[in-house]
Structure 1
Amino acid sequence: MRVVIVGATGNAGTALLRRLRSETDVEVIGIARRTPRDSGPYADMEWHSVDIGRDDALDRLTPILNGADAVVNLAWQIQPSHDQRQLYRTNVLGSRAVFRAALRAGVATLVHASSVGVYSPGPKWAYVKESWPRAGVPESSYSRHKVLTERMLDEIESDHPTLRVVRLRPGLIFQRDAGTEIGRYFAGPLLPARLLRFGWVPVLPANPGLRLQAVHADDVAEAYLLALRADVHGAFNIAAGPVLDPMVLAKAFHGMPLPVPGFVLAGAAALSWALRLQPVDRGWVKLALKAPLLSCDRARDELGWRPARGAVESLHELVDGLAERAGRDDSPPLDPAGSKPGRLGGLLRGRLPGSGNPY
């Protein structure tokens, strides 16, 4: 099986590469805007450097996808949050280029990385299935872009019924190697990450809406492999237990929950983002407060998927990665170099949080 992975150097992409390397009948081709260094563990793979948001992306992608059995689209940008045109260019127009190239090349299977963010606001004390409405959370550009890409897939499925389209909709994806990357994208250079090495967070914001789900990147990679192997189509929710709520987090990090109204959380994010103190706008807070909890029954029943690691274990691993500034110097998005946008070295060079392309 010849599989092309678009966006192969990021959080989910590196985990999927690790998983596929043990599959002797799978040939993997990686696509990224910046490919890994020749000395890395993936140097023996076939790599192509393509910026999927460029006008020529379709023409460049099509010959790479020729002869492929499946395409996995993982390419997505979260930063720079102050440049919405850049995000739309990569996330929406870039995804469209990948989808069109797959059709031109006659690929039989298209697997797309969607998200819990595609869903309309939903319950925080019950679990929604894949049929839950997909209007997203309008305040979040991330959510709006996920909705737009899924609508494109709806049209493709309608027009090309022989194409097998699979969408994975995971919760938060954690792994140790992504510690520095996630810190850059969601916290910025002012986070005293080194203090997290003690595993203690004295005060944690508590709100009834702050009930989220997470999953380890290796378990997400397993779900992608199962989706490639199985004769399935459609959407699959992917998340591990337990639900990460303030009480679970307080116990995990020996802290005290501090009740905070949702408008205060959103207002604090909006103000600090506008002042360029951190890279997360209020849309991310709104998404966290409104996104529903995921039922993963379909993934269990049709893919045979079960997470090997729980959400708390995965979160501890991520926090350890944040504290130790973990990453991969052979993967540009996961590179822990201090000069990158979102790190202190980048700040000293005038790269304020939420600006500059960390990819």
Structure 2
Amino acid sequence: MKVVVTGATGNVGTALLRRLAEEPDVRVHGISRRPPSDAPPYQGLDWTPVDIGQPGAEELLGIAFENADAVVHLAWLIQPSRDERQLYRTNVAGSSRVFTAAAEAGVPHLVHMSSVGAYSPTRKDHRVDESWTVNGVTSSFYSRHKAAVEHMLNQYETSMLISRPRPGLILQPDAGSEIRDYFLGSLVPKALFRHRIPILPLPKDLVLQLVHSDDVAEAIALILQQRLHGPVNLVAEPVITPRVLAELLGGRHLPIPPRLLRVLANVTWRLRLQPTPPGWVDLGLTAPLLDATRARTELGWKPVHDARETLRSLVRGIGEGKHVQASPVL
């Protein structure tokens, strides 16, 4: 079975390569902007270096997709957050190139990594299943792009079987340095994560669901094996509330108004003190909580990693400066 993976050196891509290495009948072909180092889990694989955000990428993609049984599309950018045109070229236009090349190559199965960010906003007092509307949070470029690509996918449904995993926030503790750089920058020194944080000021509605990248990789492996069609939510338990987060950091939660956090995020982003625009705050406050019943009952997926322990390990990873050749896929 030939599986082509775009974004194969990223957070989820690296985890997926490790997982598929356990399958003797699977041959992986990696797609990345640059050839990776010749080290596990990248060594011994076929690679095509191509930037999907560039016009003409379809030709190289088409060659890589020849005789593929499945394409797993993970490539995605979340930085530079101040250049949405560049992000759009990769995230939306680049995804279109991947889908078109896969359809023209006759690939029978496409797995597109979507996100909780694709969903329309709602209150945090209930969970939504895969039937919830997919229109995104308009103030978040990440959410707009995820929703746009989901709508774009619909035109390819007659060409191939399409799977759409929609995970919560994907974390890999070994990528602590990358995750800090992508979301906090130098505004929050990594040394801070080695110590107890006595007070955590956050809005009470900033409630998140996490999932470990290894558990996402397992879900993708199951999707490939079972050829599951359509969307499937992927989250681990428990839900991470501000109070739970504060306890994990050794302190207590201080509730603040959502508007205050958004203003702080906006000012510090515009002053280039940190890389996260305020749309991420809106996404965290209004994205729905996910019901992962379909993943459990139809895929037989059961996440190994508890959300609290995953977050605790990530905090340690940030403090220790753990690094992999990866970027967060959300």
Give TM-score, length-normalised by structure 1: 0.89
Picking from 219, 228, 239, the partner of 1:232 is 228
Relative to structure 2, which stretch is displaced further, 243-252 or 91-100?
243-252
Q: Which amino acid aligns with 2:109?
A: T
Q: Runs ≥4 in structure 1, deviation > 6 angstroms?
A: none
Q: Superposition RMSD on alpha carbons, in Å?
A: 1.2
Post-superposition offset of 1:82: 0.7
Q: Which amino acid aligns with 1:28?
A: V
Picking from 176, 181, 185, the partner of 1:179 is 176
Post-superposition offset of 1:217: 0.6
Hey, what's the Cα distance between the residues in 2 that align with 1:136 and 1:295? 17
Hey, what's the Cα distance between the residues in 2 that align with 1:332 and 1:298? 29
**What SS does the aligned partner of 1:110 have?**
strand
Q: Which amino acid aligns with 1:266?
A: R
Q: In the alignment, what sits opposite 2:8?
A: 8
- Is 2:317 the partner of 1:304? no
Q: In the alignment, what sits opposite 1:129?
A: 129
Q: In the alignment, what sits opposite 2:150?
A: 150
**What SS does the aligned partner of 2:142 have?**
helix
Hey, what's the Cα distance between the residues in 2 that align with 1:21 and 1:40? 10
Picking from 170, 178, 186, the partner of 1:189 is 186
Q: In the alignment, what sits opposite 2:120?
A: 120
Hey, what's the Cα distance between the residues in 2 that align with 1:99 and 1:323? 39
**What SS does the aligned partner of 2:200 have?**
strand
Matches within 5 A, 1:249-328: 249-328=245-324
Hey, what's the Cα distance between the residues in 2 that align with 1:39 and 1:284? 34
- Is 2:40 the partner of 1:44? no
Cα pair 2:175 2:326 within 8 Å, conserved: no
Relative to structure 2, which stretch is displaced further, 241-250 or 91-100?
241-250
Return 5+ residue gaps in structure 2 as ranges. Answer: none
Cα pair 1:34 1:332 within 8 Å, conserved: no
Q: Which amino acid aligns with 1:325?
A: G
**What SS does the aligned partner of 2:233 have?**
strand
Q: In the alignment, what sits opposite 1:61?
A: 61
Hey, what's the Cα distance between the residues in 2 that align with 1:301 and 1:333? 30
Hey, what's the Cα distance between the residues in 2 that align with 1:140 and 1:41? 33
Hey, what's the Cα distance between the residues in 1 that align with 2:61 and 2:187? 38
Relative to structure 2, which stretch is displaced further, 241-250 or 268-277?
241-250
Cα pair 1:164 1:233 within 8 Å, conserved: yes
| Cα deviation code 1:170-196 (max 9, x no counterpart) | 011111221111111100023211231
Q: In the alignment, what sits opposite 1:164?
A: 161
Post-superposition offset of 1:206: 3.1
Picking from 220, 238, 242, the partner of 2:238 is 242
Give TM-score, length-normalised by structure 2: 0.97
Hey, what's the Cα distance between the residues in 2 that align with 1:244 and 1:332? 24
Identity %: 53
Post-superposition offset of 1:43: 1.8
Hey, what's the Cα distance between the residues in 2 that align with 1:231 and 1:107? 13
